[in-house]
Each structure stands twice: as C-alpha cells, then as structure tokens.
Amino acid sequence: MKITPLDIQQKKFGAKFRGLDVKEVNSFLDLITSEFEALIKENNYLKEELAKKEAKLLDFKKKETTLKDTLMNAQQIVENLKGNAQKEAELIIKEAELKADSLIKDAHKEIANLKKELNDLRKQKMLYLEKIKGIIRTFQKMISMEEEDKEDEVVKEDNVRFLKTKKES
C-alpha cells in the first residue's frame, strides 16, 4: 500500500483515556506530511532528471553507434580506395609493359627491315660495281683493240712506205 501525504493528513487516531496529546500528534503528522511531500517532489524531480539523462544517454548511444558505423564505413571506403588504387596502378604498369613490349617488337622488326634493306643495298652496290668493272673492261678492250688497230695501220703504212721505197729503188 502506497501512502500519500493526504493519507497522513487525514489519518485519525482513536482516543483513549489518558491517550496522547492530540495537538502534538497532529503537529508531528503535519511535519511528517511536509517532509513526505518534499521527498515525493524530490523523488519526482529525480525521476524526471533520470528520464532526461537516460534519453540523452540513449541519444549519445545512437550517435556513438552512428559514429562507429560511419568510421567503419570510412575505413571500408579507404580500404576499397587503396585496393582500387593498387589495381589501377597494376593495370597502368601492365599497360606500360605491354606498350614497351610492343615498342620493342616494333623496334626489332624495324631493325630487321633495315638490316635487310642494308643487305639489299650492298648487293645492289656489288652489282653496280661489277657492271662498272665490266664496262671498264669492255672499254679497256676497245681501247686495246683501237691501239692494235692503230699499230696495225702504222705497220701497214710502214709496209706501204717500205714497199713504195723498194719499188722506187
């Protein structure tokens, strides 16, 4: 049973012969009533404050949970960004390596083509040199033949002179 200050005020005690002093009992009951009212008010105030504090605590716990979740999400995002950056870096390196390989292959092909072209040019040079040598030999033969023809003519002329001189003599 819950006792209220009103219960205390309205409490009546039976009177007996040589009983208690009614004024003193009533005065004491008034004092207890006011003390009891003060305790009830304080209790109600403390309950309200407790409810406010519990609401704040609940709000802080929600905020803490939100902050923890946000922090976890931020850490996950950072990890994802790191992973993506690593993958992108690896992809860039792979592409660079492929380009480098392609450039090297192209350079090797170009070198091979240039070597072939150089060999072709050397062969052409040799052919032209041989042709020039052949032409020079031909000209040398022609010159030799021309010289022989001149010598033959000189010999013929000498023979004709000799014969003329012999005839005249």
pLDDT digits (tens, 9 = 90+) for 53-99: 999 999 999 999 999 999 999 999 999 999 999 999 999 999 999 99
The pLDDT value recorded for residue 155 is 77
d(CA 157, CA 163): 10
Residues of the chain predicted below pLDDT 70: 1, 169
Burial of 9 (0-12, 13-18, 19+ CB in 10 A): middle
